[in-house]
Amino acid sequence: MQKDRTQDQSHLKAKIRSNQARFIQGPCIVQIKVEKNYELVPIKRRTKNLVRKILTDPVVFDGDVRDLKMWEDIAADVLRRYNRLYEVVMMDPAYRIKQQVPYPTLSDSEILALPIEKVQDRGILILWFVNQKKDLARQFLREHGYDEVEKGEWIKLTANSKLHKGSGMYTAHNNETFLIGKKGSISDIMKYHVTDNVLFSKTGKHSEKPECIYDFIQQMAPDRLNLEVFARPHNIRPCYTSFGNQLNQQSR
């Protein structure tokens, strides 16, 4: 079993390996949204500042997030490579909610038991939640030693840049929310007062988060050690370690 998992990891690393660590530098065109006739209209704007980003190869750990050994392996790997734990962690837990969802879910107690302290002793945690589980998300932060310092909103748009209408208990949900928690001193990690906490982006497949969340993280905490928990194949990317139980699927 261990041998099979090792072979799978090697296969994944070989398949997604890109260029070695490198720099990208240059002006960046970003898309912003402005209100026009009560609708959000995309406008392209060229930033004045140079964008500089260190690119490193993706790292993939395919396995069950409830498996303590997986967390220990992830910690050992990052300590071996960088001599420190992850500075930014993003989690999008598979919450068990009242509605049916097309993937396995975790109970509240299983989510609370996730040993995040194995992979992060100080830094920033971005924790997505659904409205039914907002209290659980805040409980997770408290029980694992994080201070809730901010929250962010993803405003969901259709292909025509109109508000996406989701299904809520009482209203049509047009947004998803994430909490930002901090543990320990982050003054050397965080860039303060430069990142907007509202993201405008089109929806993807069920439960997919917007691509612009990665730009948000890079702007808020540039060139840090990043870990994404509950990741799926489309989340695999340079500069990130991806951890989840669907990463060995062949579709990319």
Task: Give the chain's count of helices (H) and strands (E).
Answer: 5, 10
Q: Is the pLDDT of residue 16 over 60?
A: no
- Written as one string, the DSSP assignment of 208-249 is PPPTHHHHHHHHHSTT--EEEET--GGG--TTEEEEESSTT-
Query: Average pLDDT of 202-228?
Result: 91
Residue with tokens 């990690």, as numbered in its chain:
189
- Mean pLDDT, the chain, as a whole number? 83
Q: Which pLDDT does position 26 carry in this prediction? A: 44
Tell me the pLDDT band of 24, cut-offs 50, 70 and 90.
very low
Q: Which pLDDT does position 29 carry in this prediction? A: 44
Q: Which pLDDT does position 52 carry in this prediction? A: 52
The tokens describing 3, both together, are: 């041998």
**What digits encode the pLDDT tens for the residues 118-129?**
999 999 999 999
Q: Strands 147-157 and 123-129: what pairing?
A: unpaired
Q: Is the pLDDT of residue 80 over 90?
A: yes
**What does the alpha-carbon distance between residue 133 and residue 156 come to, in Å, rounded to a whole number?**
19
Higher-scoring residue by pLDDT: 198, 19: 198
Q: Does 1.50.10.20 match the CATH number of domain 58-244?
A: no
Tell me the pLDDT band of 49, cut-offs 50, 70 and 90.
very low
Q: Is the pLDDT of residue 153 over 60?
A: yes
Query: Average pLDDT of 150-157?
Result: 95
- pLDDT > 90: percent of the chain: 60
Tell me the pLDDT band of 99, cut-offs 50, 70 and 90.
confident
Q: Where are the domains of the chain?
A: 58-244
Position 220, amino acid: M
Q: Are 147 and 141 in contact (CB under 8 A)?
A: yes
Query: Average pLDDT of 161-177?
Result: 84
Q: Is the pLDDT of residue 199 over 50?
A: yes
Partnered with residue 202 across adjacent β-strands are 157
Query: Average pLDDT of 223-229?
Result: 97
Higher-scoring residue by pLDDT: 39, 178: 178
